Amino acid sequence: MSGTPVLVVTSPGSTLPEEFDAVRDVAEIICADNPADFRAGLKRTDVAYLWDCHTPLLRSEGPGELRWIHTNSVGLDAILIPEVVDSSIVVTNTRGVFEPPMAEWVLAALLHLVKDMRRTIESQRAVFWDHRAVHSIKGRRVLLLGPGGVGREIAHMLRAVGMDVDIVGRSARTDDELGPIHGLEDLDDLLSQADDVVVALPLTAQTRGILDADRIARLKPGAHLVNVGRGPLIDEPALVQALQDRRIAGAALDVFETEPLPAQSPLWAMENVLVSPHMSGDVIGWPRQSVKVFTDNLQRWRAGEPLANVVDKAGMAVTAR
């Protein structure tokens, strides 16, 4: 054990998994799951590892004299506060670990919805031979919101099975891999043309509530909505109403405005909704992969080498205000 200690932020009352032995082999770990321990840890190190990627501690207590913050996630909503964005603090994330399984989850969710698998499972349980025709995913038009790392994996996977994918980003451009990317000014028109809408955006000041009641009303009656971004991207009450009224066919949701999803939420019991407990990127073995991303970067940090997975804070600065 040598070099700079690492402040590891965990969720309240939790313990670190055994995969953190790889960090203990190379650094002293300072655990914090509450404001007092977090403030004490800030006095002893300039490196923080947000194992709890949703922690409110950075936002409530500030970054102190930290020089590097790493998050155990692709999303950055717990980190991109003004004190971090407007500073020299280096921010890195866990790109490369969660994106492929999230794309697999999106494909599985669309198959579940389009193939009406819930009705098939319920008919099996009722010992009912429910022969019927269902839709094909090949040729369906998907509107994908978010051309980042997650969206890129989703686009490749959905196109590989024959789906047509339109992509919306912050601004119109052409991507070498993805092809044309539409700007937000095209969103309203594209929503009305989509068979399925997949949301894979980060949560920022610009994207919060991007699918409001008016935009949800633009969806086709047979459309499906899949969200693997963040819950507040969508007006949840408006979505619930549209699903209850059958103005859209169904939804597969891995994220929600409040997590865990409250027991009184009508989403739990709706037959046209798939409720997933924010696990689309969590495949067996992910803690080991995630810790390795950090330990590899820690080695670079100590050697004075450029870090991998550095976040473009300037490009995301709008999120802090």
pLDDT of residue 317: 43
pLDDT of residue 313: 84
C-alpha triplet 223, 228, 233: angle, nearest 5°:
80
Cα distances from 305 to residues 208, 290, 299, 309, in angstroms, run: 36, 20, 8, 13
pLDDT of residue 65: 97
Report the alpha-carbon distance of residue 115 to residue 192 in Å, rounded. Answer: 22
Position 319 pLDDT exceeds 60: no
Mean predicted confidence (pLDDT) in 285-299? 97
Question: Is 275:252 a contact under the CB 8 Å cutoff?
Answer: no
pLDDT of residue 3: 75
pLDDT of residue 2: 59
pLDDT digits (tens, 9 = 90+) for 17-61: 999 999 999 999 999 999 999 999 999 999 999 999 999 999 999
Question: Is 79:71 a contact under the CB 8 Å cutoff?
Answer: yes
pLDDT digits (tens, 9 = 90+) for 98-122: 999 999 999 999 999 999 999 999 9
Question: Is 70:291 a contact under the CB 8 Å cutoff?
Answer: no
Q: Note the residue count of the chain.
A: 321
Question: Is 286:98 a contact under the CB 8 Å cutoff?
Answer: yes
The pLDDT-based confidence of 261 (bands split at 50, 70, 90) is: very high
The pLDDT-based confidence of 205 (bands split at 50, 70, 90) is: confident
Taking Cα atoms as reference points, which of 72, 79, 67 lies closest to residue 20? 72
pLDDT of residue 316: 63
pLDDT of residue 260: 96
Position 77 pLDDT exceeds 90: no
pLDDT digits (tens, 9 = 90+) for 2-15: 578 999 999 999 99
Question: Is 194:167 a contact under the CB 8 Å cutoff?
Answer: no
Hey, what are 211's tokens? Answer: 């699918």
Hey, what are 65's tokens? Answer: 């004299």
pLDDT digits (tens, 9 = 90+) for 114-171: 999 999 999 999 999 999 999 999 999 999 999 999 999 999 999 999 999 999 999 9
SS3 of 252, please? strand
pLDDT digits (tens, 9 = 90+) for 219-256: 999 999 999 999 999 999 999 999 999 999 999 999 99
